[in-house]
Chains A and B, each alone.
Chain A
Amino acid sequence: EPEVTQTPSHQVTQMGQEVILRCVPISNHLYFYWYRQILGQKVEFLVSFYNNEISEKSEIFDDQFSVERPDGSNFTLKIRSTKLEDSAMYFCASRAVRSGANVLTFGAGSRLTVL
């Protein structure tokens, strides 16, 4: 079964450092997403991306965050200068573009720990 692949599975970084989380969405999907889940809290929407641009973003997704699709397969989330409160599990998701296919498929997540 096709799956969304995320790397790294766990990253530990120092406050103020830049991190890049990588995702390989399902190959025929064209909508891409990042969500995060702080330990013990809800899964929260960060950003959606379609046709090489951000289509929607949440209040969490401030200037410290950026997304990119650098080639035909990868979708990345960059945090420019990490803060302690960025510690969370970051989930990438993708979905097909056809109408009615609103089911997002999630990756296994990247756990980010900021010290």
Chain B
Amino acid sequence: EDKVVQSPLSLVVHEGDTVTLNCSYEVTNFRSLLWYKQEKKAPTFLFMLTSSGIEKKSGRLSSILDKKELFSILNITATQTGDSAVYLCATLQGAQKLVFGQGTRLTINP
């Protein structure tokens, strides 16, 4: 059975801290791994990772994929209260289907 597992499930930190969110996967027909941020409703796209070892960056967020060990991490530096959200990891299988992890609920306290 295809599995995407995120850890931790919940994380509370203070503004300014750096956080690392983890995602491991065991899926068939893997093509890419995607990170989404879910605040109130719609997941919004952050990164898509297809190749191992190539870091993707967007401002204070960065992510990397290890296809040998089957995991990805999402780093957020200098966290702000606006980073509070559920962060979803998903693998793209074939051309069609995203398989999601259960998400990490990140809370940034001022």
Residues of A within 8 A of B (CB): 4, 31, 33, 35, 41-45, 48, 55-56, 58, 89, 91, 102-109
Contact = CB atoms under 8 A, between A and B. Distances in A.
Contact of B32 (A44, A56, A102, A109): A102
A45 B96 CA distance: 10
Determine which residue in B45, B98, B99 has the highest number of CB atoms from chain A within 10 A of its CB, and name it.
Answer: B98
B41 A104 contact: no
Contact of B96 (A31, A91, A105): A31
Determine which residue in B44, B97, B99 has the highest number of CB atoms from chain A within 10 A of its CB, and name it.
Answer: B97
Given A31-B96, A42-B100, A56-B96, 4 more contacts: A4-B42, A102-B34, A104-B34, A106-B44
A111 to B, nearest CB: 9
B92 interface: yes
Nearest to A107: B42
Interface in B81-110: 88, 90, 92, 94-103
The main secondary structure of chain A at its interface with chain B is strand
A108 B42 contact: yes
A102 B42 contact: no
Contacts of B103: 42
A42 B101 contact: yes
A105 B45 contact: yes
A41 B44 CA distance: 18
B98 A45 contact: yes
Contacts of B101: 42
Given A42-B103, A102-B92, A109 B98 contact: no
B43 A45 contact: no
B8 to A, nearest CB: 16
Contacts of A105: 45
